Chains A and B, each alone.
Chain A
Amino acid sequence: MLTKFKKIIGLLFIVPAVVSANVSEYQLDNGLKLIVKEDHRAPVVVSQVWYKVGSSYEHNGITGISHVLEHMMFKGTENLGPNEFSQIIAANGGRENAFTGRDYTAYFQTLEKDRLEVSFRLEAERMRKLVIDEAELLKEREVVAEERRMRTEDNPHSLVREAFNATAFVNSPYHHPVIGWMSDINHYQASDLRQWYQNWYAPNNATVVIVGDVEPEAVYALAKTYFGPLKPETTAQVKPQIEVEQRGKRTIEVKAPAELPYMMMGWKVPVVNTVDQEQAWHPYALEMLAGILDGGSSARFSRHLVRGDEVAASVGAGYGLFSRLADMFLVVGTPVKGKSIADLQLAVMAQIERLQTELVSEKELRRIKAQVVANAVYERDSVFYQAMQIGMLETIGLDWQLSDQYVDNVQAVTAEQVQAVAKHYFQDEGLTVAELVPMPLDGNRPAASIGGRHGY
């Protein structure tokens, strides 16, 4: 009780912070944001450092540079040799890695709770004192090129997705892949990396998220010790790069060695970040719509397309309502043998039209809402996931407390709202369709016939 009281005092008078449930929020004088969520179930702590930079901050010619910089962050600083960061974390029983997305670059360690200091000491060091060594960069370019071959060049679905995004987005930076085009990967210079690091890696462009068996004030004190002395930076201005209005359906084919056909459909939609007050419910209605189509084995896609009509071997709907820029509502799938891509697309469109013309039943709405409520409990089984949610929201420019309001916002969606967004956004004007055309794997025989290809 006393501790709790002290914490509230601290919040009100010592630092400008917010507390919701078991989350404490702080800001250091140099602009670094610290968010601590207590979870005392196990004696562990996850430490994540999120930077506001990712592939959507990049321009042509240096695509993928955020990702290769993430690799170089393990290659030595003024006081650490190449790979020494990882060796120290390992010797402390930690697990660590990093990930780059369109809107963020993040680094993490999971440790037993009394080792958090190790994470802060090392992360503070590489926040401002990275050394980009020419020879290390040349090797790392090769590693990233191998990563790209593995993830993209030799994976037909990835090839389709890359071409699909590059077609759907004209001037939005979501046009280019997170890992970058191969030609760009092969030509990064040390000076490019140094510039990128200088631009974006600074305390005032970072959010540190801590979840685990910790005491927030102690974490705050530790953060001041290690991150406090770092100098802020004038970060570069990001241009809005608002995607031009799409004026009609775009269709592409991608030929690649493959056995099975595959297709992607995507409609331009807003996200929480891009809607005004009046349309604030749209992303949540789209989220609900995705649940109606693909929220489990009882949802419409599984029920009618995989079972029922048996037109899809697999089919999925995807929508993420949290990103920095406007995005797409995706449907991807593979037809069963004997059915064509055209058959699958017609079946998908029939489901979309049904959403446009018919109100979703209360029973279906209730089922999706029950899943959302339950998932909010299940997610708390993972400290890592809890930290991910907070870090991602903060880094794309939203308030982490949105994750607490998510359940309420989805609960509030009505059948009429689902129908309204179905009518509004699922129009051909904003649609992009990509199809994988399987080419023979052995170079000798024609690929499996996949039927007519001139459907929807």
Chain B
Amino acid sequence: MATKLLGLWFGLFIAVSVHASPTIEHWQTTNGARVYFVPAAELAMIDITVAFDAGAARDGTQSGLALLTNAMLNEGAAGLDTDQIAAEFEDVGAQFSNSSQRDMAILSLRTLTAQSALEPALAMFSQVLTQPDFPVDSFKRIQKQMLIGLQAEKQSPAAISSRAFYANLYDEHPYSAMPAGNEKSLTQLSIDSLKAFYQQYYVAKNAVIVLVGAVDITQAKQISEGIAAGLSTGNAAQALAPVKSLIADKTIKIDHPSSQTHIVMGQVGMSRADADYFALYVGNHILGGSGLVSQLSNEVREKRGLSYSVYSYFRPMRQLGPYQFGLQTRNDQAEEALNVMKNTLQNFSDKGPTKAELIAAKQNITGGFALRLDSNSKIANYLAMIGFYDLPLDYLDSFKSKVNAVTIEQIKDAYSRRVDVDKMITVLVGGKAE
């Protein structure tokens, strides 16, 4: 065993030295789950992520269904109750977590690779994944907690603005609803609908399994096979409807007894597989994606002291995710700050970046590329993204050269086609000026 690991470690070391990024091993389990694996022998631990195309975009009319289904998996499985499942993981120091957003529903396990920990943790993980019991008392409790979560949203201007932004941006599209659901939809959910959702979407052909850790490829194959074995083969989820572009500008003002106004502005952005991905990514990096040195931070914070945080980002998703701008400022400055933000975007759309700005952005993105892959957990996140969105296996290897190839003209062209400053959803949540 020791020799094997040592051999593996040298193999990895050479791979890291030669290529910029780790070599990704990829295969399918017997029943069709896609697996992505990177060995990492240095720490005696493993990170396992199983991602299903079973996020809130699959809720249909039952908003909150995907999240509640995901949250129920470790509440009862193979006859064990919540307490027993939690103890089974924690007795060996393993960490189980689950989460569900719009595209992905995720189950994760982090455990030591000593057999005394790995075996019981893996056994429990696959039971939770493949034999959930959906006990009724847990269902009622989590339903209640989600309703309390909705109440908590109402005392957070950030949460209020986010909900309003998505609702108005996506209108009839499944992305418009929040994964946390709403009061009405949550109270109407039933255990039967959760079970049906689970049976349809938690299937091998709709799953991506990611492993990063101190096991060799033979062990990784055994583990992935073991995890997937209890899943029915099923089918991949159907393609989501495309997102429609905004046809008009819209401003939504919501009163809230806060001293600041939270502003969220934006429109439909790009998808993970977008042809304009790199031009838009690098462009936005300069405009509002690079923290303290971005144009937005310079205009809003550095020059005028209007906000602590100001940002813009694309959230690439299966379909077109949002392109979102935001800041928070004292109520009486809200109009001024919004204008500065809009003008900065307008100016960038018209003129594009300067040559110096583009060089600086490329230096920042490519010069710090290794930082994106400096831990097992970061590598695991990238593998999940690559697998889930069907990105090429050389995505990480080619990332730097694709960034370096972006030109000022490409950024201007992409912004002129994809970003319309006159058609924005703008949400303002805040109080009156004092």
Contact = CB atoms under 8 A, between A and B. Distances in A.
Interface of A: 41-44, 74, 82-83, 86-87, 90-95, 110-112, 115, 138-147, 149-150, 153-156, 257-260, 295-299, 302-303, 306-307, 310, 313, 334, 336-337, 366-367, 370-375, 377-378, 380-383, 438, 441-443, 448
Interface stretch (B86-94, B176-184, B228-236, B414-422): B86-94
Contacts of B94: 374
Nearest to B148: A313
Contacts of A258: 155
B192 interface: no
A44 to B, nearest CB: 5
Contacts of B369: 93, 112
11 contacts: A42-B370, A44-B370, A44-B371, A92-B368, A93-B363, A149-B258, A260-B155, A297-B90, A336-B145, A374-B93, A374-B94
Contact of A302 (B86, B111, B259, B291): B86
Contacts of A83: 292-293, 298, 302
Nearest 8 Cβ contacts at the A-B interface: A93-B367, A374-B93, A93-B368, A142-B305, A298-B86, A139-B305, A42-B374, A297-B86
Interface residues of B, number: 71
A140 B306 CA distance: 9
Contacts of A302: 86
Nearest to A334: B148
A149 B309 contact: no
A372 B95 CA distance: 12
B5 to A, nearest CB: 15
A44 B328 CA distance: 34
B255 interface: yes
Contact of A143 (B87, B260, B307, B370): B307
Contacts of B305: 138-143, 146
A144 B112 CA distance: 43
A306 B257 CA distance: 31
A150 B42 CA distance: 41
Interface string B134-155: 0000000100110110011011
B364 to A, nearest CB: 5
A448 B90 CA distance: 37
Contact of B257 (A143, A378, A443): A443
A44 B374 contact: yes
B55 to A, nearest CB: 23
Given A143-B307, A146-B328, A93 B371 contact: yes
Interface string B293-317: 1000010011111111100000000
B260 A154 contact: yes
Contacts of A140: 305
Given A313-B145, A380-B43, A443-B257, A90 B90 contact: no
Given A259-B155, A336-B144, A377-B112, A149 B375 contact: no
A146 B144 contact: no
Contact of A112 (B290, B298, B368): B368
B292 A382 contact: no
Contacts of A92: 363, 367-368
Given A86-B293, A337-B148, A381-B376, A442 B259 contact: no
B86 A259 contact: no
B329 interface: yes
Nearest to B140: A310
B87 A367 contact: yes
Contacts of A86: 291-293
Contacts of A383: 374-375
Contacts of B368: 92-95, 110-112
A92 B370 CA distance: 12
B82 interface: yes
B240 interface: no
A452 B93 CA distance: 40
A313 B143 CA distance: 11
A42 B255 contact: no
B144 to A, nearest CB: 6
Interface string B227-263: 0000000000000000000000000000111111000
A150 B309 contact: yes
A143 B328 CA distance: 11
Nearest to A94: B368
A76 B112 CA distance: 46
A383 B370 CA distance: 13
A257 B293 contact: no
B273 interface: no
